[in-house]
């Protein structure tokens, strides 16, 4: 008689995955809905639709953040030559995920994805797969506790070489601004000189968006806290902000367009270098 495989939750495999809660709306699945994806439950679509009614601009925001991510990663992998990425708050796979953009520029890029949602992790592990030359790893962890993230990421990333830290649309999950700042500082402190921080977050620059977020907080989803552009800029303190600074993500080094400058969106972001 042969012994059978250890259960999914045996110690060698980490803790067992909690079940997916289909009754509570989840930000990753709602974003997937706004981006036109099919990986969402009725409860996510319902909340996403209600949000859209109050603040239709969220679709431009969702797309704008994806394009911002793609431009920033292309710049970092292409122009700067960064080969390591730590992407916290991965979200459900969409087009042009971090490793796809980076490995298109340089197939040897190494990417660590971090999320704490079982559905996101299952999708990331199955679909966000690396080139043969590079590597992708997936960490089940919460940004509130950076220590384990950094420890696990060290299995894939070499922290003596520059790392691009990606924090897109995640810090709003932390209600306390000072706590969010200190988490960013902890993460950046672990990176060597020549590393980069790419960060974007929802801004309180529109009454409609603020109202949509206020209602969203009552749906049972983890509330998302909007911050002022100044507060978002504050996350980059101590770092060297690249041009054009912290701006609506659509306006961060936009690709040339025959239709003039891109529209304003109520999500601000930037890229900074650690000296």
Q: In terms of Cα–Cα distance, which of 168, 163, 156, 177 is closest to 227?
A: 177
Residue 13 makes contact with other proteins by CB under 8 A: yes
Cα dihedral 89→95→98→103 (10° resolution): 160
Residue 17 makes contact with other proteins by CB under 8 A: yes
Tokens found for residue 50: 């209600």
CA distance 182 to 232: 13
Q: In terms of Cα–Cα distance, which of 171, 168, 173, 180 is closest to 224?
A: 173
Residue 125 makes contact with other proteins by CB under 8 A: yes
Q: Please, is 96 exposed, middle or buried when counting C-beta atoms within 10 Å of its C-beta (0-12, 13-18, 19+)? A: middle
Contact of 8 with 17, CB cutoff 8 Å: yes
Residue 119 makes contact with other proteins by CB under 8 A: yes
Instruction: Please identify which residue in 24, 52, 106, 122 interacts with other proteins, judged by CB under 8 A.
Output: 122
Of residues 124 and 188, the one with the C-beta less far from other proteins: 124
Please list the alpha-helical segments (H only) found in the chain.
27-34, 42-54, 58-74, 98-105, 118-127, 146-153, 177-189, 207-216, 229-234
Instruction: Give the shortest CB-122-to-other proteins separation in angstroms.
Output: 4
Instruction: Please identify which residue in 11, 23, 53, 132 interacts with other proteins, judged by CB under 8 A.
Output: 132
Of residues 36 and 81, the one with the C-beta less far from other proteins: 36
Site residues (CB under 8 A) for other proteins, limited to 23-82: 36, 38, 41-42
Of residues 86 and 119, the one with the C-beta less far from other proteins: 119
Q: Give the total of residues touching other proteins (CB under 8 A).
A: 29
Instruction: Please identify which residue in 26, 71, 83, 123 interacts with other proteins, judged by CB under 8 A.
Output: 123
Residues lying near other proteins in the complex (CB under 8 A) are found at 2, 4-9, 13, 17, 19-20, 22, 36, 38, 41-42, 118-119, 121-123, 125-127, 129-132, 138
């Amino acid at each position: 008689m042969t012994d059978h495989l250890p259960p999914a939750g045996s110690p060698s495999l980490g803790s067992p995955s909690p079940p997916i809660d289909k009754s509570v709306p989840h930000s990753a699945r709602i974003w997937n809905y706004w981006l036109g994806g099919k990986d969402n439950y009725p409860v996510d679509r319902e909340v996403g639709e209600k949000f859209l009614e109050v603040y239709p601009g969220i679709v431009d925001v969702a797309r704008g953040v994806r394009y911002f991510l793609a431009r920033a990663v292309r710049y970092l992998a292409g122009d700067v030559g960064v080969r390591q990425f730590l992407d916290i708050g991965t979200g459900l796979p969409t087009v042009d995920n971090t490793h796809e953009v980076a490995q298109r520029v340089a197939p040897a890029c190494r990417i660590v994805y971090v999320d704490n949602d079982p559905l996101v992790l299952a999708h990331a592990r199955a679909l966000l797969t690396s080139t043969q030359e590079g590597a992708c790893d997936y960490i089940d962890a919460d940004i509130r506790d950076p220590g384990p993230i950094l420890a696990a990421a060290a299995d894939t990333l070499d922290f003596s070489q520059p790392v691009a830290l990606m924090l897109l649309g995640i810090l709003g999950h932390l209600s306390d601004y000072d706590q969010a700042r200190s988490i960013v500082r902890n993460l950046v402190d672990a990176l060597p000189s020549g590393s980069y921080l790419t960060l974007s977050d929802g801004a309180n620059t529109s009454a409609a968006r603020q109202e949509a977020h206020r209602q969203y907080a009552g749906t049972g989803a983890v509330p998302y806290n909007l911050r002022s552009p100044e507060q978002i800029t504050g996350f980059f303190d101590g770092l060297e902000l690249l041009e054009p600074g912290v701006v609506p993500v659509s306006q961060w080094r936009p690709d040339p367009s025959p239709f003039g400058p891109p529209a304003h969106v109520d999500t601000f972001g930037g890229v900074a270098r650690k000296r």
